[in-house]
Amino acid sequence: MTTPRVYKTEAIVLKRVNVGEADKILTLYTPNLGKLSAIAKGVRRPKSKLGGHLELFTHSSLMLARGRNLDIISQAETISSFLPLREDLWRSSLAFYATEMVYQFTAEHMENYPVYKLLLDTLRRLCDTEDGELTLRYFELNLLTHLGYKPELYHCQGCNSALEPITNFFSASSGGVLCPQCKAKEPVARPISLNAIKVMRFLQENDYAKASRLKLDSELSSELEGLMRQYIRYLLEREMKTVAWLDSLRRER
Ligand SMILES: [Zn+2]
């Protein structure tokens, strides 16, 4: 069977890079084709019909033509531009983080519909969430689950015993929590409070409607942020680019 020369897909714009005089190469995340790169020719010209439909985070309906190297975007129509994300620096920075995370953790042409759905829902939620940090923690934990990196939060990753309701230790390299005895063998594991474990379990097991009702004080919120950052840095083997930017905004808030 030959693949059609022209195809249609919905997509979320993850990244845009200028090329040539008026073109852009876009990285898109799609429901059935995973992550893919495509070129938008002439999109930087003021009269381009594509312009405006291919901004960062935009959810669009696209028509593409197969190209020799890159597929070519021939038509684009906005489904949602998530306007509140563009009008608020904090919200847009959280959206940058979410799209960067999908960009960094996925390979091209690997379909993962739950990842697409989660990203789309997250962009929508970031438009009106009152606690962007909580929305992001829910996103991170569920994204890692969809990608096969779900942290283990019930049994010690060293000895498999059920975790006691005390301060335990989070180990990025073991993909979960260690009991105090097993922590001795892994000095870099960091303390994780009982409340932090409870919140992470709750975010893993409940839908967003329930999860978003949690109220976290700033201490617990920053503990969770630090734990997730450590785990994500370990998995990626580097820091996410948006992290330093988010930190500078957090200091101002
Ligand atoms: Zn143990």
Sheet with 168-171, strands from edge to edge, namely: 176-178, 168-171, 190-192
Residue 237: C-alpha distances to residues 103, 183, 232 (Å): 15, 22, 8
Predicted local distance difference test score (pLDDT) of residue 226: 96
10/77 Cα distance (integer angstroms): 9
Instruction: To the nearest 10°, report the CA torsion of 36, 41, 47, 53.
Output: 0
pLDDT, tens digit, 9 for 90 and up, residues 27-36: 999 999 999 9
Counted residue by residue, the chain has a size of: 253
Enter the pTM of the model: 0.95
Predicted local distance difference test score (pLDDT) of residue 200: 98
87/81 Cα distance (integer angstroms): 11
Residue 139 CA to ligand 1 centre (angstroms):
28
With a CB cutoff of 8 Å and minimum separation 6, the contacts of 175 are 149, 151, 152, 157
Residue 141 CA to ligand 1 centre (angstroms):
23
CA 217 to chain centre: 23
Residue 221 CA to ligand 1 centre (angstroms):
26
Residue 45 CA to ligand 1 centre (angstroms):
60
Return left, alpha or beta for 161; rule: phi > 0 is left, psi -120 to 50 is alpha, else beta.
Answer: beta
Name the stretches of the chain with pLDDT < 70. 1-3
Closest to 69 (Cα-Cα) out of 16, 108, 21, 112 = 108
Residue 149 CA to ligand 1 centre (angstroms):
20
Residue 226 CA to ligand 1 centre (angstroms):
22
SS3 25: strand
